[in-house]
Chain A
Amino acid sequence: MTRILTYSCYDLLRSRWSYAYFLFYLITTLALLYFSSDLSKAIISLMNIVLILSPLIGTMLGAMYSYNSREFVELLLAQPIRRRDIFLGQYLGLAGSLSLSFALGMGIPFLIYGVQVSAEVWNFATLLFSGVMLTFIFSGLAFWIAMKQEDKTRGFGTAILLWLFLAIVYDGIFLLALILFEAWPLEKFALAASLFNPIDLSRILIMLKLDISALLGYTGAVFQQFAGSTRGMFICVLSLLAWAALPVAGFLYSCKRKDF
């Protein structure tokens, strides 16, 4: 498995995509830091970018890579290697190389601007963690879809739709529900509903650091407990890890029964 992992990783790190992704984050972060000159403001602006882009790129490249390496996979399957190792290796190679591009692209400018000695170091770490988690979750989901869907176009479509749903549509439905059922006690529902969307989850994780003053304005015992202590962060991190495990378990399960 390690050999497949390193192979995929090197393969991807040499591709244009990784460089483009790395350069994109590098330039955006540098520009934001240069123009806002304030670390916390740059972190807020970057949060919006990370929350949209990391899942999108994860989904796109995940789907693309698994469809494009189809023939290579078939070749490997002819060898005495466990299926699990092949797919897990490929997945980790992809998610790892993407995360590396992302972390370096965003990390280098922040280090230049001295984040490690500023008060924002934990906010930055949270953002970095969220970005990496989202990359892993969404490339995993894309792998799973590619495994299930033979047709490339359909697979891509499904993956993009899934991203669109989680990034925007889900929040829309969520918002409507909150407004329509305003008369009911909603705090538990609101918290639970955000656990079922990894993008919302990462957003809340970052907000627990950056916008705590606003979050604590909401009256509600459960909510206060969630936002006012470290419990909220703990729950968010755990749920994100669970989210990362889910698609991996999914595609490993379906790869065993798939007829190549």
Chain B
Amino acid sequence: MYSLVTQAIKTCLLLHLMYWLCPALGAATLEVCPDGCAYSSIQQAVDAAAAGDSLLIKPGIYREHLILIDKPLSILGQEGAVVDGQYQGEIFRIRANDVSLSGLEIRHVGTSYTEDQAGIRVEKSKNCQIFNNKLSDTFFGIYLAHASNCEIRNNQVIGKAEKEISSGNAIHLWYCKEITVKDNLAKHHRDGIYLEFVENSHILHNVSEDNLRYGLHFMFSDYDDYLHNTFRRNGAGVAVMFSRHIRMQHNRFEENWGPSAYGLLLKEIYDSEITSNVFRKNTVAIYAESATRIRIAQNDFLQNGWAMKMLGSSMDNTITQNNFISNSFDLATDSRRNHNQYEANYWSEYAGYDLDKDGTGDVPYRPVKLYAFIVGESPATIILLRCLLMDLLNYAEKVMPVLTPQTLLDERPRMKPYPRNQSFNP
């Protein structure tokens, strides 16, 4: 009963919205159901509809693929409306502006090695709305190419990816502008959310987990932000490559484990901001290669293998006001010089004192241990983690730095961790 009522309310709201959006009076609602209605297939109804009409898909299984939507329509699925592609190929292809697609269950997209077949593909269109859909067993889930001003909200995209080569991305954006991706769940694909040549877009409150490669993947995308997302157990949480002006805030990166697993992988990225995130139990929380002018502040690094691996090609970054707590290594670098600024962080390994009681340690902290350097040189020595000999060597190096960068130090390490309000809801 409840769901019926909400469904009715949703429908009303949507219709209301439609009338408001399309002043062309006389927009009709076409009903589709497996039998007994005017239309028994979605494609038939789409072909018969006029621009601005609504389609109401009644419960039932529609075995269709390659449904081409070439005019502004609003398609609303009722609870139990399932579109089954039977692994034949793509299911929805949207090639018009102002299309909305919601409430549908879409499943069984065909896998192809030559084409990126998707559950819902949007091509060269504006103002699309894709929400409240459930996609399962998809190759690509939702695929936007040359789209702008779209909203992808509250969808569940769950694939069955086993190998990187034969799997696609849950939400894939290519050459897009002004897209909002919000409250989605992306699971078991190659990449959870993938952006290439995407500008001015917002990725908010999504959960991306158990993907083979990255939870979120940026390539050549500038001026985007992603906030309040959770990335869990992916090959790497987030990879940001060849991009500028990205804001990354309030995200959680958790349990991204493995030989080349990172919470956040930065490569050729400039002028960005990484603040107020939580990195927990990743093999490497942040891996930075040629990352420049990035502000890494107010993050929590908890129980990671390496809190940061900052390669020598990274310059002019500021690392400040972070909490580094119980990481096996705080920082590793491959360079003997330091071009980044580390200041006023809390390091749980810090063993200095604070005589003037101003909350800041009186002796600088060196985040790079000799052992981190040795492990960088010959990785098998990881087996000697935390042995007495290593502690002795680390101590000797701390007193007289020879191999680790001399100028890499936090001059004002905090004595107590920064308090964080944990009100944030993933």
Contacts and interface: CB of A to CB of B under 8 A. Distances in A.
Contacts of B388: 48, 51-52, 167-168, 171
B381 interface: yes
B368 to A, nearest CB: 15
B380 interface: yes
A40 B327 CA distance: 11
A187 B385 contact: no
Q: Identify whether the interface residues of A are mostly helix, strand, loop, or mixed.
A: helix
Contact of A174 (B257, B328, B377, B384): B384
A178 B283 CA distance: 22
Interface residues of A, number: 38
Interface string A150-178: 00000000000000000110011011001
Interface string A214-226: 1111111000100
Interface string B353-392: 0000000000000000000001001111111111111111
A17 B42 CA distance: 85
B306 interface: yes
Contacts of A48: 386, 388, 391
Nearest to A180: B378
A254 B221 CA distance: 74
A213 B378 contact: no
Contacts of B326: 38, 40-41, 44
Contact of B257 (A44, A171, A213, A220): A213
Given A38-B326, A48-B388, A171-B387, A179 B374 contact: yes
B132 interface: no
B15 to A, nearest CB: 50
Interface in B91-144: none
B257 A216 contact: yes
Range, interface on chain B: 35 or more
A127 interface: no
Contacts of A40: 303, 326
A194 B329 CA distance: 21
Given A44-B326, A179-B381, A168 B305 contact: no
B382 A215 contact: yes
Given A44-B326, A182-B378, A224-B259, A217 B389 contact: no
Contact of B303 (A199, A204, A213): A213
Contacts of A191: 383
Interface string B268-305: 00000000000001111000000000000000000111
A194 to B, nearest CB: 6
B378 A203 contact: no
Interface of A: 38, 40-41, 44, 47-48, 51-52, 167-168, 171-172, 174-175, 178-179, 182, 186-187, 190-191, 194, 199-200, 203-204, 207, 211-220, 224
Interface of B: 257-261, 281-284, 303-306, 325-326, 328-329, 348, 374, 377-392
**In the complex, the 10 A-B pairs of residues with the closest C-beta atoms, listed nearest first:** A214-B305, A214-B328, A213-B305, A219-B259, A186-B380, A171-B389, A182-B378, A217-B283, A190-B383, A211-B328
21 contacts: A40-B326, A41-B325, A47-B386, A48-B386, A171-B389, A171-B390, A178-B378, A178-B383, A190-B380, A200-B387, A203-B386, A204-B383, A207-B385, A213-B303, A213-B304, A214-B283, A216-B259, A217-B259, A217-B379, A218-B380, A219-B260
